[in-house]
Amino acid sequence: MGYPIIFQSRLLLYVKQKYKIFTELRKAATEPRQQVSQEQRGTFAEETFLDLERGLLEFFNINSSRKGRFQKNINYILQSVAEMDALLKSRNIKFIVAIYPDAFQIDKTLLNVILERFRLRREDYDLDLAQNILKSFLQSKNIFYIDLTDRFRSEGKEKRLYLDTHWNRSGNQLAADILFETLVKRLCNVSPLH
């Protein structure tokens, strides 16, 4: 029907993820609360969080990439981006893609914990793999993008930017600053945005 066959149903994956979040939130609600600021408290228990990040890290596995393990998913995503671009162009709307890094791409301590916990080798992973695939595609389609990864890596050396899988207040502010600065600069230097 024009869609790649994915190993698991998206609906099933969605339901599993929502159930996991629901059970974590329910467990957190019944546990005694420590005096911890919102900047330090995450959504998930540490074990669940590390399992989630380990699953995401697998996409960055060099061997998996060479074997095409996620190629159907990648093709589907890139096709979706191309269709969004075509739809917006047909309505004379400019399309801009923001590329957000994952926590393990920024926080070396977190990455090391995941590698140690699951007995993984750092040299088996390319932490720029996802961004490189997407940027290459966007460049080939002449789609403007804003990659937040480098600034997040730079500022992530000085302060925490993630709560768990989400940005904390500092991470949200940094993302807003990057997007604002880039868009203002682009609007001032280029007449039609493309």
**Tens digits of residue pLDDT in 57-70:** 999 999 999 999 99
With respect to residue 103, please indicate whether it lies within any of the assigned structural domains. yes
Picking from 115, 131, 124, the residue whose alpha carbon sits closest to that of residue 54 is 115
- Give per-residue pLDDT as tens, 113-169: 999 999 999 999 999 999 999 999 999 999 999 999 999 999 999 999 998 778 999
pTM of the full predicted structure? 0.73
Is residue 101 domain-resident?
yes
Cα 2 to Cα 12, 71, 79, 109: the distances in Å are: 20, 15, 11, 42
How far apart CA 168 and CA 152 sit, in angstroms, is 12
Give the count of domains, the chain: 1
Question: By residue range, what is the domain housing residue 145?
Answer: 44-189
CATH code: domain of residue 132: 3.40.50
